[in-house]
Structure formats: structure tokens, C-alpha cells
A and B are shown apart, each in its own frame.
Chain A
Amino acid sequence: MPSTSEIVGCNGAPVSKRNLFAPGSIASQYAIAVAVVAIATVGGFIFNPIIGPHSTAFIFLLFVVALALFLGRGPTLLAATLSAISWDYFFLPPVFAFRITHLEDAILLAMYFVVSVVLGQLTTRIRRQEAIERRREERATALFLLTQDLTESKNIDAMIENAASHIEKTFDAKAAVLLPDRTQRLKRYPYPAGAFTIDDRDRQVAAHVFAHGKPAGNFTLNMPVTAAMFVPLATSNETLGVIGLKFSDSCGPSDNEKELLEDFNQQIAMSLARLRLREVSEKSKLLSESERLSKTLLNSVSHEIRTPIAAIKSAVTNLADIKEAPLSASQKEMIGEIQEATERLDRVVGNVLEITRLEAGRVKPKINLCDVRDLIQVVLKDVKNELSARKLTLALAPDLPLVQLDFVLTQQALHNLLSNVGFHTPAGTSVNVGARVDGPWLLLTVADSGPGIPPESIARIFDKFYRGPSALAGGIGLGLSVTEGLILAQNGNIQVENRPEGGALFSIRLPLTRSVAAHKP
């Protein structure tokens, strides 16, 4: 913990209007002392003829003791001296002379002086004790109130808010709380809590404080170039932030305030550390909880929808397989319809689940060295039926290397593109699938000689649920969004254009080289 001894006030004495414990300035106290002795002298003139000069001494003594109750040691001593002189001069015979004729008067004067001084001293000491007690209590109260509010703060923002308001109230200063951002550098702007807006110079000083863990700025030994003082917010092992204080008067903090400030900082730093820890643990709990929830949801939705589809599919196939009572042609046709509808339903469900997974960021590519020819073969085998009446040509570069990509995601993307071509182009048209290296990319192309894409659709064709103006019935406009998602998940991109010779051209680009981190599946 850095010591506040590095903070210096503009004078050592605990005086300033912030100082709750010593009202009035030194000069006015002496003036009061003189005035009160003068009043006592006037009182003496009134009572002396009645009670005699020796008893008048007690009136003086009364005033001196009363003064000692309110003034410091110096003024009390002055009052004692002045009153002794005044008594001797004005009341002790011979009056209006300092001369003392009787030995008893001399002893009395000496004793008066000693008694008044001792009484004054004692009273002041008691008062000082009392002041220290009071100060201690005030500190304890201030700390207690702070600690209470800090403990009750639910989060860091509320805690900082409370801390700033307590500092501003207790030290009569404007406060600014600066905490580091994720990169462990102090944020450019202080916490919104606190009325102290910092400038560039303040920020430099604050950064210095944060880096070195020692107070700096005004009233300190380090960089007293700004009007504000900056103190570190530190626990025993790390500096968590910086508090800036701009005191309302030009006088710095008293020793007492420095100590209190140190206590405040300790409490705030501890609360901050505690809340940080809590926030981290809560965040990780929340994250794993939401991850678990979305996984459960996806799994159960996919289970609940796919199971009945599986049942329909099985039942229909069983029906078609029954040999004991062969089906009529129209019955077979109906079964064909059911089968086709089931396939379509399954496809739509698959796309919806896939887009949900992609959007939830749940698709983590498994990047491996893959054989692009093999990949294209797998896709072509799968889409054989959809492209049955198309003239299919391949344009695979002979020198295709193995490429780092996610086999399954790329395969699904290409599958979707080719199914899409099968859906949107008339029978008899041609489809060309190409693969080659294009600069830093693997370029996969699907070109058809169909009607092409309406120009107004090109920009939106990958949007979710977008269906072109000439879209055929069937399909909910997810296939291409899923395709794009699958490619983007691998840091690739997909584009579409109309070929000058007619038809659409889809180009998928996937990076050939990946950072080391991406290699790990």
C-alpha cells in the first residue's frame, strides 16, 4: 500500500475550512483572547469596589478558563498573561501601577498566573483529546457509511457511483474514478460517476499513477503539474485503478484527511476486487448456462421434429413394400407424393436448424487438409437426382493442392448451391462445377445456363427468407443464406453474378493458408 506521506499539504497544520475540527483562524483566536481580557477588566471595575481586588482575580480566572474551553493553547496563554498584568495594573494596590507593595500580593499574583496557565493548559488538553476522539469517530463514521454503501452495491458501476459520491462529500472535492479497459490500459474517459472531468494532462498523471502505484499530481511529490491529485486504487498485490481528486480550496488535504483517504482507497479497492471476482464468475456461469440452453433447445427441437418425420418416412416405405396386397397405380402415386413432401419437410427443417446454429455461432469449423476432388465427387453423387436432366461438366484444375477447410461445411454449401441450380433451372440446361487456385484463395464455381438471377435480386439473394420475384413455389429462402453462413464460418466468401452468355455464376472463395490457430480442429 503506497503511503500518503507522499502527499503534502500547503501547510502542516490541520486548518482549512474543510477541517471540521478547528474552527476559526489563529489570528482571530488571539483577538478573541485580547477582547475577552478587556471585557473581564471592565467587569473587574464594576465588581472591585464591592468585592475587593483579591476576589476580582477570580473573575479573571473564570474568563481565562472559559477561554481555554474554546481557544487553542497560545491564545489561552496570552489571555492568562494579559489578565495577570491587567489585574496587577488596574486592581492591585497601588492601582494604575505595576509596582507591588505587599509580599502577599506578589505571591497571589504569581499563584494567579500559575493557576490560570495550568487551568488553561489542562482545559486545552482535554479539548484536544476530545477533538481527537471526535475526529476518530468522524473517520470511523465516514468509513462505516462508505463501507456500508460499497457492500450494498450490486455491481461495479453502482459501487463506483457510491464511492465517488462519498469521496466528494467527505473531502469536499470533485472526484474521478479511472479503471483500466481490457487491454490493461486506463480508459480514456473516467467513470461517469464523479463530477471531475479530466483533461489530457490529468490523464497522463493518472496513467503514471496507474503504472507506478504511487500518488501523483497536486499536493504530492510526483508530477505536481496538475490542479488535481491522483491516488492509486490498489489492493496488496495489484493496482486496480486511479482516483482523481480536485479539492474545492487551494489548500491540500490535512494529515487527517490523507489517512482517511488512504482508508477510503483501501475499502474501495477491496470492494472492486470482490465485485470483479463476482462478475467474472457470474459471467462464466451465465455463458455456460446460455450455451447449454441453446444446445438443449436445438437438440430437443431437432429431435421432436425429426422423429415424426422419420416415422412418416418409415411408415410410407413400409406401405410401399407390402407385397401381400400390391398397391394400385394411383395408390403408389399417392405414396410418391407423401414421400416427396416428407423429403421437402425434412430439408426445410434441416435448413432452419442449420441457420439457427450458424446464427448462434454454434458452428465451429473443423479445419483439416482436404481433397477438393473428393469433396466435389461426394457432392455430385448426392445431387445426382436433382441434376438428373442437366448436362454436367467439371472444370477441375489438374494441380489442385490439398486445402485446409472444413470438409462437411464446404460440402453442404456446394450441395445447397447445386440443389438450388437444380431447382431453378429448366431441364436440358448445363451446369459446370469448377475448382482452381485463385491467388490466395481456393475458388469453387457453379455456373449454370438457366435464366440467371433478376438484377434486383442479386444484392439480396443471400438474405434470410428472401425469395426472388420469380421464385418458384416451395422453398422458404433459406438455402442460400445457409450456404453463405457455411462459407463465412470458414472465413471464406461467396458471390453471385450473371454470366454474359446467360445463366448464373456462384463463386465460393476459401483461404488456402490459415493461421496456425485455425489448423487445430
Chain B
Amino acid sequence: MNIETSPKSKVLIIDDESQMRRLLRASLERHGYEVAEAANGKQGLDEAVRQQPDMVLLDLGLPDTDGIEVLKRLREWTKAPIIVISVRYHEDEKINALDNGADDYVTKPFGPRELLARLRVAERHRKVSTATTSFHCGHLSVDFETRTVKRGDQKIKLTATEYSILRLFIQHAGKVLTHGQILRAIWGTEDMEKTGYLRVYMAYLRDKLEQNPSEPTLLVTEPGVGYRLVIDEPVLH
């Protein structure tokens, strides 16, 4: 639980509510983060350039610019994880933020613990090199060189599509993938009519990979948005 990051990771908070900024700063600093603040979109973009934060917390409801616009502008030059915090709790807005490059999405009101957990996942993901050869998480282990997937000690046979989907999730472990993102990556289509395929494949994957397919803990559904591969204590080599 208590993960001290060294050297300190710097988090930029872009939120127009000063109270929210104060509270976030308190939580983050107590957990060993360095904090920078910005009260609007323009200031946020300036601070991002000046401070070069490791992560960004972005509120979508900014007084001067639309948060999505800030997100797009940030994504033009930085790969730093961006977590959107917003009171806009509708799925379309979550999807919009994720499709525009947000790494995660937390809806206000949220507990600081939830946010910190998301931050840790995003941070870990940032440090992962893309050239991983294997993946272990809980009972699941995957060797990309030999294309072997194991649940515990048991070898699991996956079809080509199932394997590609799993690989995609592992590449984005801990991160929400929207239906659209998965459809584009696997089937190369934007056609939302094809979500049916995705549902079917997700059910297959759960049957094969989950300890208890009726209570998935690995591949969880993000209602109306997509799916997430949950990583508790992942070990990537």
C-alpha cells in the first residue's frame, strides 16, 4: 500500500476549484508526491510545459477552455499519464476523454484512496517499457515469446483473436480501453455495431482466464465505456 516513489513523482493538478486543489495537494503530498497547480486551461498548459510533470490530474469543467481541448493540446507533446477528474459522470464524456488520450477517468465525488490507486496504476504503466517479454498478474502469466498463456500452472489455449485482445489489454494493463479503441485495434473498425463480437470474445476470455468467470476480477467491465485489465501487483519483465 505504502509506495514511496523515488525520486518524487510530480503531479500537476489542473482544476478551477481552489478547495479541490488544496485537498488533492494534501492527499498527494502525504503520499509522497510533489504537486504543482493550475487554475485554468491556459495556465495548465503553461505549467505543463514549465514543470514537465510526471502525471496530470485534469478537471474537464474549466472556466476558460474545455477540458477536452486541454487534453488534446497536452497529448500533442507529452506522454505523461493524464487522469481526468470531473463531475461530468456520463459515459459519453468518459469515452470522449479516453479516446482523446486520457489514461483514466475518476468521477467527482471520489475518495482520495480511489484516486491514489489510479495514480499508482498510471505511474507504473508509464515506467513499463513497451518491449516486455512476459506478464504476470495474480494467477495469470503470459509469455509473449512463446505465446503461452497460463492460469496458475494450467496452460490455456487461446484463439488468435483472443490472444490479440489479451495482448492489447496487457499493453494497457490497468487502463480502461473503450469499446471503440478495442474494436479499432483488433478488428480495424469503427463500427459500434460490432460490439456484439467484443462481448462474445470477452465472455470467452473470462471463461478461460478467470478463476471464477461469473465474478471476473481480471477483466472487469467499465459500464458503458469499455473494459479494464485489473493489475494489483503486476510484475513486468
A→B interface (CB under 8 Å): 299, 302-303, 306-315, 317-318, 321, 342, 346, 366, 368-371, 373-375, 377-378, 381, 394, 402, 406-408, 411, 519, 521
Q: Which residues of B contact A (CB under 8 A)?
A: 17, 19-20, 23-24, 26-27, 30, 61, 87-89, 91-92, 108-113, 179, 192-193, 195-196, 199-200, 202-203, 214-216, 221, 223-224
How far apart sit A370 and B202, CA to CA, in the bound complex (Å)? 11
Q: Shortest beta-carbon distance, A1 to chain B, in Å?
A: 51
The answer to whether B224 and A407 touch across the interface, beta carbons within 8 angstroms, is yes
Whole-angstrom distance between the alpha carbons of A519 and B194 in the complex? 11
B20 touches A407 (CB 8 A): no
**In the bound complex, what is the Cα–Cα distance between A366 and B179 (angstroms)?**
13
- Interchain CB contact (< 8 A) of A307 among B91, B108, B202, B221: B108
Distance (whole angstroms) from the CB of B188 to the closest CB of chain A: 19
Interface residue from A308, A408, A519 paired with B223 (Cβ < 8 Å): A408
Other than A314-B20, A321-B27, give 10 A-B pairs with Cβ distance below 8 A: A299-B61, A302-B88, A308-B19, A310-B108, A317-B113, A321-B112, A366-B92, A371-B202, A377-B221, A378-B221
A313 touches B109 (CB 8 A): yes
Contacts of B26 in A (CB 8 A): 318
Using Cβ atoms and an 8 Å threshold, which residues of chain B touch A377?
Answer: 214-216, 221
The 8 Å CB contact of A321, one of B30, B61, B108, B223, is B30
A410–B88 Cα distance when bound, in Å, is 19
For this complex, 28 residue pairs linking A to B, each with C-beta atoms less than 8 Å apart, are: A299-B88, A302-B87, A302-B88, A303-B61, A303-B87, A306-B108, A307-B19, A309-B109, A310-B20, A310-B108, A314-B110, A314-B112, A315-B23, A318-B30, A318-B112, A342-B109, A366-B92, A368-B179, A368-B196, A369-B193, A369-B195, A371-B200, A377-B221, A378-B223, A407-B224, A408-B91, A411-B224, A519-B193
6 closest residue pairs by CB, A with B? A310-B109, A369-B196, A408-B224, A310-B108, A314-B23, A306-B87
Cβ distance B63 to chain A, nearest Cβ, rounded Å: 11
Complex-state Cα separation, A408 to B112, whole angstroms: 25
Contacts of B113 in A (CB 8 A): 317
Q: How far is the CB of B108 from chain A (nearest CB, A)?
A: 4
Chain B residues with Cβ below 8 Å from A407 are: 223-224
Contact A310 B112 (CB under 8 A): no
Check if A318 sits within 8 Å of B23, measured CB to CB: yes
Report B82 CB to chain A, min CB distance, Å.
19
**A302 cross-chain contacts in B, Cβ below 8 A:** 87-89
Q: Cβ of B108: which chain A residues have Cβ within 8 Å of it?
A: 306-307, 309-310
Closest CB of chain B to A398's CB: distance in Å? 12
Residues of A within 8 A of B17 (CB): 307, 311
Count chain A CB atoms within 10 A of each CB in B20, B27, B89, B112 and give the residue with the most: B112
Shortest CB-to-CB span from B80 to chain A, Å, is 23
